Amino acid sequence: MKISAIKTFPINVGFGSQLVVKVETDSGIYGWGASGLSGRELAVIGAIEHFKGFLIGKDARNIGALWQEMYRGQYFEGGRVLTAAISAIDIALYDIKGKALGVPVYELLGGKHRDHVDCFASVRFRTREELFEYSKTCIKEGWNMLRLAPAEFEAEGDKELFEPRQSIATIAEWLTDLRKEVGTAITIGIDYHTRLTPAQTYSFIKRMPPGTLDYIEEPIRDENPEAYENLRKMVDIPFTIGEEFSSKWQFLPFLERNLTQYARIDICNVGGITEAMKVASLAEAHYIDLMPHNPLGPICTAASIHMAAACPNFGWLEEMNTPAQYMGTDAPEFYPVRPILNGPTYPVLDTPGLGVEFNEELALEKTFKPIEIPRLRRQDGSFTNW
C-alpha cells in the first residue's frame, strides 16, 4: 500500500484557520490529518512539500519508520513547523491503517481503556457577567470541569491592551466569588496563556483563598524549565503545561522534574499519534494525567479521542464548543462525519480509522485568508504575549 499523493487544504473556520492534510494510497484508501500550527499554515504547507519528495512511493503502513525519516531526514531536526507537518501526515497514516484493517485507531494503540472521553468546557470571558453566565450555563448542562480563559482586553484605537497587574487583581476577585457561587464539587482551572511573569503568577495565586483554583495553565512562557522550577517552589496549586511542545524531548524536563501536573499534549503539533503516545507513556511513569490541547477541529478531536481511549492516564479533553459558547470549530459543512458530543463527553466509537470525513470539494471552492493572532500591547506601548 504505497503513498500516491499528499494534498493540503488550508481553510478558514469559525474565528480561525485550520490546515487539513489528505494522504492517498495506490490501494484507494486515504487518510485525513491536521496541523496544529495555527496562523502559520503556509509554512507547514512548505514543509509538507519537502516531505512529498521522499514519502510518495513509500509503504503507508510503516508509520514509525516514516516518522523517523521525516524527523531526521534533514540536518536540522525538529522544530514546530516540521513537527506540525509530521503530525498531520502521521495522523493521516493511522487513519489509513485503521481503515485498511477495519479497526478504529485506538485498536492500533493497544485497545480502549474507556467507553467515553470526558471533556472540560473552555470558557472565554471578558466581563464578570460573562464569566458567571457562561460558567453556570455549562454546569447546568452537566459540565463539571471548567477551564477559564480571560480575555479582558481593552481597546485603544486599533490596539488591544493588556495590563497584567490590573488583570490579576480583577480576575482573582471574580474567581473568589465564582467559587463561592458554584461550590466545591466543580473543578476550576484558568489559562493565563503565558501572559504573566513568575512574580505576577505568585501574586495572583496569593490573592485567592486556598481551594479557589484546581490548577493554573501556562501562566508564564515555557522556554526555560528552570523558571517553572522556581515558580513551582512558590505556588502550591497544580500546573498544566505543554500545548506548545513539539516533541517528547521538550516535555521531558517538565515531566521528570514534576514541573507540570497535567500534560497538555497537542497531537497536531507534538508529532502526531506516534509521538503523543510516547509522551503519554512518559507522563504515566511520573503519575501525570493527560489534558490534551484541542483548539482546532474534528480531526484533532478525533485523534485526541483515540489517544485518550488508549491511555490509562487520561484526565479531560479540551472542548471549544459548549452549551455556553459555540466557536464554530467543528464546522459541519467541512466535516460531514465527525465526533459528536454527548453532553460533556465524546463516545469512543468503533468506526474504522479516525471516524472523520472532510469536504475537500468545498475547501477547494473557498479562498484561504491567513489569520493573524491579536497583538497585545501594554499601556506604555510595549508588546506582550497573547
DSSP, residue by residue, 256-310: HTT--SEE---TTTTTHHHHHHHHHHHHHHTT-EE-----S-HHHHHHHHHHHHH
What burial class does residue 182 get, using C-beta atoms within 10 Å of its C-beta: 0-12 exposed, 13-18 middle, 19+ buried?
middle
Assess contact for 337 and 357: CB atoms under 8 A. Answer: yes
Residue 375's pLDDT is what? 84
Q: How far separated are the first and last CA of the chain, in Å rounded? A: 44
| Of 313, 379, 381, residue with least CA distance to 167 | 379
φ, ψ dihedrals at 328, nearest 5°: 75, 10
Give the residue ranges of the chain where pLDDT is below 70.
152, 155-158
User: Are the C-beta atoms of 266 and 36 separated by less than 8 Å?
Assistant: yes
At residue 57, φ and ψ (nearest 5 deg) are 100, -15
Angle between helices 80-101 and 41-55 (to 10 degrees): 60
Run of H or E residues at 66: helix 63-72
How many angstroms separate the Cα of 174 from the Cα of each of 7, 126, 351?
Answer: 47, 11, 44
How far apart are the C-alpha atoms of 29 and 348, rounded to whole Å? 23
Per-residue CA distances from 346 to 57, 137, 331, 340 (Å) = 36, 19, 17, 6
Q: Tell me whether strands 383-384 and 376-377 are parallel, antiparallel or unpaired.
A: antiparallel
What's the CA gap between 333 and 353, in Å, rounded?
Answer: 21
The pLDDT assigned to 108 comes to 98
pLDDT of res. 157? 66
Q: What is the largest CA-CA distance in the chain?
A: 61
- Rounded to whole angstroms, how far apart are CA atoms 259 and 381? 33
Report yes or no: 189 and 215 within 8 Å, Cβ to Cβ.
yes
Contacts of 139 (CB under 8 A, 6+ apart): 146, 182, 186
| The pLDDT value given to residue 155 | 66
Cell of 58: 513509500
319 and 294 in contact (C-beta within 8 Å)?
yes
Question: What's the CA gap between 305 and 346, in Å, rounded?
Answer: 8
Residue showing cell 512518559? 282
pTM here is 0.96
Number of separate helices (H) and strands (E) present in the chain: 12, 16
